[in-house]
């Protein structure tokens, strides 16, 4: 899976990961490290390799888990403190079981936005991992899979298991210069993942390369996408002109324009498409939207038991779901299904959509900690583009497209539900193109 692994043993790599986990750069990345267990797993992996037996796709490779995944014997905290004292999980999440069966070494559980309910990645309980992209200015890592992304960016793991409800894999991947893949929701079971929104939650991982993401996704889904890089000549891309290009940072706009030029030069057809229905999502999500409504349903007992122990910024958003009637909730689903059908019809004849993953480069951390207005503006702009793909029940990659010396920028290539294999082939073709000098 990784060239790095061919030059070392699993024990050496895991030992290095655990040492780096205690470095200043990795501060606030982990909520729990499995030091002894990880080293024992790594030694067993090396012994199995020497014995010449069959090896799993992730054999001996260090992986991190977002803190909202169940691990048998551990209370699932999901970036909060209000879960302290709750019973430990009786069994591993399905995704974790599949990682173990493939030979992965679980290094630790990673920090996240509380209850996965923010695209920024700030956590007032456990601290906020610093984005490694800037050694001078402290910047947010993106959320909600903040620690997952930083663990990969720092080389502590080949993949960070995350979850994506409105962009929580693709946002930190974009801000940290990594690859994030949100597959069609139904491909990977959600059992054992603490719920935010059962309608939108998606299991996935953050990696350094598209190929690595496909290996991990194949393990998690048990339906490997056996894709090879597509010939971009004749591939037809839609570039939506509604919503996705609003309020872009100049650096994001520049990187996106450069990426479109390269993609066109490679022979692909790039078509500007109004896709005006994208502007309807907010109205169709009234009165609360799936995440507040379903999040409140999942966590209302915790909110009632100890509201003072929950980040007010998270509690305020969840409270939007309180009092939403069954009639309104079912209407949310009906309006979404109608919208998906409309978008699918408009995108007939296109292989995929292209857009910036998020409208911003990684914002500075301090102003967002200090000011609610700044925080919620950044949160809105970070979630806006990727969340539309969750609402579509589509699939999407975030691919790095910045030039050397620039802050990371993600290009989102996305498609309709069930088109994961074709999208993977396109992402494999785009990746080296975007990395070209």
Catalytic machinery residues: 66, 144, 168
402-414 burial code (b ≥16 CB/10 A, e <16):
beeeebbbbbbbb
What distance in Å separates the CA atoms of residue 205 and residue 401, rounded to the nearest whole number?
A: 19
d(CA 246, CA 253): 10
Sheet holding 236-240, edge to edge: 30-33, 105-110, 62-66, 159-163, 203-207, 179-182, 395-400, 410-415, 352-356, 236-240, 269-273
Nearest alpha carbon to residue 391 among 243, 252, 215, 216: 243
Task: Give me the count of residues in the chain.
Answer: 437
Residue 329, phi-psi category: left (phi > 0), alpha (psi -120 to 50), beta (remainder):
alpha
Separation CA 111–CA 405 (nearest Å): 28
Distance (Å, whole) CA 169 – CA 163: 6
Judge whether 160 and 66 are in contact, CB under 8 Å.
yes
Taking the C-alpha atoms of residue 353 and residue 432, their distance in angstroms, rounded to an integer, is 18
The residue whose two tokens read 């007992």 is 301
């Amino acid at each position: 899976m990784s060239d790095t692994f061919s030059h070392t043993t699993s024990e050496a790599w895991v030992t290095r990961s655990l040492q780096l986990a205690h470095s200043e750069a990795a501060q606030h990345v982990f909520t729990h490290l499995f030091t002894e267990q990880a080293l024992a797993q790594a030694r067993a992996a090396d012994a199995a390799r020497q014995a010449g037996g069959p090896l799993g796709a992730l054999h001996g490779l260090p992986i991190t888990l977002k803190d909202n995944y169940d691990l048998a014997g551990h209370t699932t905290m999901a970036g909060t403190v209000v879960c302290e004292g709750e019973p430990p999980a009786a069994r591993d999440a399905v995704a974790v079981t599949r990682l173990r069966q493939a030979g992965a070494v679980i290094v630790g559980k990673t920090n996240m936005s509380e209850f996965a309910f923010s695209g920024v990645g700030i956590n007032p309980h456990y601290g906020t991992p610093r984005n490694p992209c800037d050694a001078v200015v402290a910047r947010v890592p993106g959320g909600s899979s903040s620690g997952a992304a930083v663990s990969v960016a720092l080389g502590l793991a080949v993949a960070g298991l995350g979850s994506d409800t409105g962009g929580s894999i693709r946002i930190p991947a974009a801000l940290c210069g990594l690859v994030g893949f949100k597959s069609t929701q139904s491909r990977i079971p959600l059992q054992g993942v603490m719920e935010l929104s059962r309608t939108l939650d998606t299991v996935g991982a953050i990696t350094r390369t598209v190929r690595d993401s496909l290996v991990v996704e194949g393990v998690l889904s048990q339906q490997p996408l056996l894709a090879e890089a597509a010939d971009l000549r004749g591939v037809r891309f839609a570039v939506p002109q509604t919503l996705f290009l609003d309020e872009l940072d100049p650096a994001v706009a520049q990187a996106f324009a450069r990426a479109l030029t390269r993609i066109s030069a490679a022979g692909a057809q790039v078509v500007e498409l109004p896709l005006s229905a994208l502007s309807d999502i907010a109205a169709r999500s009234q009165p609360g939207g799936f995440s507040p409504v379903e999040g409140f349903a999942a966590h209302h007992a915790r909110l009632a038991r100890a509201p003072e122990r929950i980040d007010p910024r998270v509690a305020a958003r969840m409270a939007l779901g309180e009092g939403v009637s069954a009639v309104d909730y079912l209407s949310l689903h009906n309006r979404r299904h109608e919208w998906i059908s409309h978008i699918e019809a408009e995108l007939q004849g296109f292989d995929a959509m292209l857009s910036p993953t998020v409208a911003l480069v990684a914002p500075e951390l301090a102003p967002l900690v200090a000011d609610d207005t700044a925080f919620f503006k950044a949160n809105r702009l970070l979630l806006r583009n990727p969340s539309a793909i969750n609402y579509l029940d589509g699939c999407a990659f975030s691919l790095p497209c910045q030039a050397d010396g620039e802050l990371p920028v993600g290009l989102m290539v996305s498609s309709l539900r069930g088109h994961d294999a074709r999208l993977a082939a396109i992402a494999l073709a785009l990746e080296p193109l975007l990395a070209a000098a």
